[in-house]
Every structure is written in C-alpha cells, then in structure tokens.
Amino acid sequence: MANNLRYDNQVVVVTGAGNGLGKQYAKFFASRGAKVVVNDLGGTFNGKDQNKGESRVADAVVKEIKEAGGIAVANYDPVQNGEKIIKTAIDHFGTVHVLINNAGILRDVTLRNMTDADFDIIMDVHVHGTMKTARAAWPFFKKQRYGKIINTSSSSGLFGNFGQSNYAAAKMAVVGFTETLAKEGAKYNIHCNVLAPGAASRLTQTVWPPEMMEVMKPDFVVPLVGVLVHESCKESGSLFEAAAGHYSKIRWERSEGLLLRPDESLTAGTILNNWNKITDYSNADHPTRPANISEFFEKASALSSNTA
Ligand code: NAD
C-alpha cells in the first residue's frame, strides 16, 4: 500500500525546491497527484545573494514536473516573505494542505570569527522563514481542519557540530517551534513534525567523499516525508532522522533525578554529593512536557531536611 501513497487534490508547498532535497520532494508529490508550489529564490549555498537570486532553478523543476504530466507552479520569493509563497498556493490552487519548510543555507564559521551577519542570515532563513510560511498557511489549515507541516532541522542542531553554532542554533529552534505548533494544531487536525535529513546536495558536497554522496541520495529521504504528510498519518510533534535508507525517531530522555526539600538546606554540596543520582538514566522516562513541579513539590515537602 505504501508504494501507492497518493496525494490527489492535495496542495503541497515546498520551499527551497530548486535543488537537493526540496527538488525531490516536489517531483515526488507531483508524480503522486499533488498540485505543487515549487519555491526557490535560486541563491547560493551560503546565502550571499539572498536578495538577488534567479528564478531558473524553480522554473526548471516546474518544467520537469509538467513534462512528466504533473501540476506545479513556481514561486521565487525568499522564505522570509513566506506569506507570498502561501499566496501563490492560494492564488493558483485555492488552498494549501501540506507545507514542507526545506529551504536552507549554511554560513559555517567558528564562534570566534562569526559576524552578526553570519548569525542573522542563518536565523533569518531557517527560523524566520519557517515561521513566516507556517503562520501564513495556518488559517487555511485551521479553516479546513487539516494541515501537515514538515520543518527541517539537522543533526548539527540536535547534537552540535564544529563551526556551525549559527546553523545549530537555528536548527534547534526549528525543533521547539515545531513541537509547539504540534500542540497548538492538535485540535484542528494539524500535524507538525521535524525532519533531520542527511543527503547529498550542494550543502554536503564538500563534506562527504564521492562514494558516500552516491549512497546519500535525497531520494532515500523522500519516502519518510511522504508517509508523514500522508492523510493516513497521525504522527505529530515528533522528530525523525532519515539518511541513506536509515530512518529513526528521536525523543527526549529525563533521568528520574534527585528530589530535595526546597529550603535553605538545599546547597551545591548536596547536589554534588548526589551527582550520580541526577545523571543516572536507569529509571528514565521520555517526556513530552516539563517535569511536574507541583507533584515534586508535594513529595519534596514531605521529605526531611536535606542536611538532616
Ligand atoms: P540545497 O542547497 O541543495 O537546497 C536548498 C535550496 O534552498 C536551494 O535551492 C536554495 O536556493 C534554496 N534557498 C536558500 N535560501 C532560500 C530562501 N531564503 N528562500 C527560498 N529558497 C531558499 O540544500 P539541501 O541539502 O537540499 O538542504 C535542504 C534542507 O535540509 C535545508 O534546510 C538544510 O539545512 C537541511 N539539511 C540538509 C542536510 C543534508 O545532508 N543535505 C542535512 C541536514 C539538514
């Protein structure tokens, strides 16, 4: 059945769809019956020309889709003007069902050498851009009681990566943003998930050797996204990795921790003496919300003084 997943009558917006992963998403959804907005400003991988990209890449993908019998329209706006991208979907297809926030750039530099511009452009494209498209699509999702969002993170955001503190900050921001949208969208049947992909593209061509680029085809990431945004999928607020045929779900883990009576007897020394307990994962859980402080408070109040 999964081989036959279809998206007939679905309007799918893919940002940064002129190259790499976005291009493969756009072609996939169009080949399965969706009407696709192919957004791309045609910029360089490092965003040096964010304001003067050219439309050729988006046009080329639209041409390819149409030649294969699919339906697509190009949009050339930067994701920072996300409302214009969604407007293209509305103007041409009347609504939007699926939003894939994929556009991205890199500006790798160690913190010591990072300029404000290096940080700001990365936050602008990845965080601001993701918010702008999602916010513009939201009223349509809400009204039709249906919407799917995939926001794109990165292993660099989840785990950190040398020389990418700007990119890592932005990509982790995308996680918190998406987890929140999933909560806000739950009662409207709006499902939002995060993807940390790995794929051969302009962004990775200087990082991986040629044989690895071959295995890391963007095509191998596409099927997971296809499942997540299919109408049959109820997954929301989750984080997935996909690369080279490997797919996995990532979650938070909270140690059982240490419970101390919250009074003047609670000192750094007590924390230090119990460090193993705080960091012990043997009775861990996998939270989707903050620790229940009021429950802890009741239990802790019943404890005798920490110094006793
Ligand atoms: P890519 O460079 O091949 O494609 C990104 C596209 O986004 C480009 O066509 C570019 O013109 C477009 N773009 C850039 N800024 C834009 C803007 N402001 N508005 C509209 N379009 C814009 O890169 P890719 O590897 O396919 O990356 C896609 C996404 O996946 C990015 O968000 C990236 O950070 C993320 N990602 C990729 C990898 C990987 O291994 N390739 C790993 C982790 C995360």
pLDDT tens digits for range 221-241: 999 999 999 999 999 999 999
CA angle 37, 59, 43 (to 5 degrees): 90
Any ligand 1 atom below 6 A from CB of 157: no
**Which numbered atom of ligand 1 lies nearest the CA of 101?**
32
Is 164's pLDDT higher than 70? yes
105 C-alpha to center of ligand 1: Å?
6
pLDDT, the chain, mean = 94
167 C-alpha to center of ligand 1: Å?
12
If one compares 303 and 58, the residue with the highest pLDDT of the two is 58
**Which numbered atom of ligand 1 lies nearest the CA of 57?**
9
43 C-alpha to center of ligand 1: Å?
10
- Report the Cα 285 to chain-centroid distance in Å: 24
pTM of the model as a whole: 0.95
Is residue 171 annotated as a catalytic residue, yes or no?
Answer: yes
125 C-alpha to center of ligand 1: Å?
10
Span 278-293, average pLDDT: 92
Is 143's pLDDT higher than 80? yes
If one compares 168 and 307, the residue with the highest pLDDT of the two is 168
The C-alpha atoms of residue 255 and residue 268 are separated, in whole angstroms, by 19
Any ligand 1 atom below 6 A from CB of 124: no
The C-alpha atoms of residue 120 and residue 117 are separated, in whole angstroms, by 5
Span 274-283, average pLDDT: 97
20 C-alpha to center of ligand 1: Å?
7
pLDDT of residue 51: 57
Any ligand 1 atom below 6 A from CB of 39: yes
List the structure tokens of 259.
């419970």
Tens of pLDDT, residue by residue over 98-136, are 999 999 999 999 999 999 999 999 999 999 999 999 999
Any ligand 1 atom below 6 A from CB of 185: no
Per-residue confidence band for 16, with pLDDT thresholds at 50, 70 and 90: very high
What residue type is assigned to position 135 of the chain? R
Ligand 1: residue whose CA is nearest its atom 42: 198
pLDDT of residue 2: 55
Span 12-30, average pLDDT: 98
pLDDT of residue 53: 61
If one compares 251 and 207, the residue with the highest pLDDT of the two is 251
CB neighbours of residue 137 within 10 Å = 28
Radius of gyration of the chain, Cα coordinates, nearest whole angstrom? 22
| Spatial contact of 11 and 93, defined as CB atoms under 8 Å apart | yes
Is residue 167 annotated as a catalytic residue, yes or no?
Answer: yes
ipTM score of the complex? 0.99
If one compares 156 and 3, the residue with the highest pLDDT of the two is 156
Any ligand 1 atom below 6 A from CB of 203: yes
Any ligand 1 atom below 6 A from CB of 50: yes
